[in-house]
Amino acid sequence: MAMATGVSICSNALLMLGSQTINDFEDQQNLDRAKLCANLYPTVRDDMLRSHPWNCCIKRAVLAPDAVAPPFGYSHAFELPADFCRVLEVGSSGCQIDYLVEGRTIQANTTVLELRYVFRNDVENTWDAHLVKLVTLAMAAAMAYPVTQSAAMQQTMEQKLETSLRRARAVDGQEDPPQTLGDERLLAARFGGGW
């Protein structure tokens, strides 16, 4: 099986629309399609990565505070990692801390910040097969009208994307252990136990 790349994802999306593929994002023979893919792909990819905590796109980091403290509110500011997309957890398991994301920083009342986050994983061959399929569908939906001039094709691709997104989120979520919510009644209500 071929390794997934941004170009292969875009090419498969173009095939879904009945269009010719591209060889790369600067493909001179298919310049219009290559430019369309190059312009849309980073935004579509990042949007899909932010949409769910995909297991293949999660990282942990321990952040040190910035030299300059915020003027008020929290005692320290921590610069977010360059590849940051979305916060999943601040503090270590079961010991969440109060925080605020502001600009490219996290503000908190701590001197060391443990961060679990969704990162901008731009190495497509490390993605789960469901994520590859979803980004392909998302690209097909984004390119449907520009490539086919058909609003019906765009709507069809958007519906396929929504259906596949629900399925992929459910499958990806099944790989995670149940979260400890700290309150047994919540656990019982969530998992059907009676009180």
Give the type of residue at 28: Q
Q: Coil, helix or strand for 118?
A: strand
Residues 6+ apart with CB under 8 A from 123: none
Q: How confident is the model at residue 1 (pLDDT cuts 50, 70, 90)?
A: low
pLDDT digits (tens, 9 = 90+) for 56-112: 999 999 999 999 999 999 999 999 999 999 999 998 766 889 999 999 999 999 999
Dihedral sign (CA 25, 26, 31, 36): positive
Q: How many CA atoms lie within 13 A of 37 on its CB side?
A: 28
- Report the alpha-carbon distance of residue 98 to residue 121 in Å, rounded: 27
| pLDDT (0 to 100) of residue 179 | 53
pLDDT digits (tens, 9 = 90+) for 14-52: 999 999 999 999 999 999 999 999 999 999 999 999 999
| pLDDT (0 to 100) of residue 178 | 59
pLDDT digits (tens, 9 = 90+) for 80-90: 999 999 999 99
Question: Looking up tokens 């998302």, which residue turns up?
Answer: 138
Residues 6+ apart with CB under 8 A from 13: 37, 136, 137, 139, 140, 143
Q: How confident is the model at residue 182 (pLDDT cuts 50, 70, 90)?
A: very low
Q: Quickly list H helices, the chain.
A: 6-16, 31-50, 129-148, 151-174, 184-191
- Predicted structure pTM score: 0.81
What angle do the packed helices 31-50 and 6-16 form, to 10 degrees? Answer: 110
- Report the alpha-carbon distance of residue 128 to residue 57 in Å, rounded: 9
Q: How many CA atoms lie within 13 A of 167 on its CB side?
A: 11
End-to-end CA distance of the chain: 50
